[in-house]
Amino acid sequence: MSETLEHIASAARTDAPPAILLDKVNKWFGALHVLRDVSLSVAVGERLVVCGPSGSGKSTMIRCINRLETHQEGRIVVDGIELTDDVRALDAIRREVGMVFQSFNLFPHLTVLENCTLAPIWVRRMPKAEAESLAMHYLERVKIPEQAKKYPGQLSGGQQQRVAIARALCMKPKIMLFDEPTSALDPEMIKEVLDTMVGLAEDGMTMICVTHEMGFARTVADRVVFMDRGEIVEMGTPVQVFENPQTDRLRLFLSQILRGH
């Protein structure tokens, strides 16, 4: 099994060093083994979709990539920097990796514009005017420049998630992580967020996206990873994974997903 995985991983793209490399990563929450020997290599510019039943460890895995969670065994290398307890390495990685959360996590006491400019000004040391024009650029990109002066609480869920995407983009990250970005949204708002993400993917951003949106996975993903009980069970192109599942676990999962739709 693992040989095939490595084969696919290495065959995925070019010979350039991977943007993200996970090597036999293990993690426990207390006695609960939530990540089991997870190995994964993501090339620069690659779009990866991670799916799997709830509790399968997919969120935990991407949260390990910017160290919101710490792994206990194995290696994680992001943009050539290995994740350790070294604070400087952590700062460097967090500057390069943007994250979008299921629950948006916008800062409610700051305006949309301030949400977007805070990190560029204080982490990137960008002059305020430059940070604001950058923020407006990305707010236009996610199609809500007119909301810049409002507070997050005045926006709809879909608008808030688009602000969250713009906020992450303002740090000009090399890699974007999406943790179930549409799961907290009403159905009519899912499309506006997915459209924004498709646009981003077309620009060649390296993305890892945890989602159950199969349509998005089919149109955008270079590869789909299926996780269950902390393991990567199958990995391949969307067609391989969705049309030709190799394991019972994936077949069961796909049947449940399809029934839900």
Rule CB under 8 A: which residues touch another protein? 66, 68, 91, 94-95, 97-99, 101, 103, 105-109, 118-119, 122-123, 151-154, 167-168, 171
Q: Minimum distance from CB of 42 to another protein (Å)?
A: 18
Q: Minimum distance from CB of 222 to another protein (Å)?
A: 24
Smaller CB separation from another protein, 100 or 241: 100
Q: Minimum distance from CB of 144 to another protein (Å)?
A: 17
Q: Minimum distance from CB of 149 to another protein (Å)?
A: 12
Smaller CB separation from another protein, 52 or 152: 152
Pick from 172, 174, 216: which is nearest to 193 by CA?
Answer: 216
Q: Are 24 and 38 in contact (CB under 8 A)?
A: yes
Q: Minimum distance from CB of 100 to another protein (Å)?
A: 9
Smaller CB separation from another protein, 124 or 229: 124
**Token pair for 171:** 């740090």
Residue 229 Cα to chain centre, angstroms: 19
**Token pair for 99:** 């994250």
Q: 82-90, long-range: CB within 8 Å, 24+ apart, which pairs? A: none
Smaller CB separation from another protein, 91 or 130: 91
Smaller CB separation from another protein, 92 or 257: 92
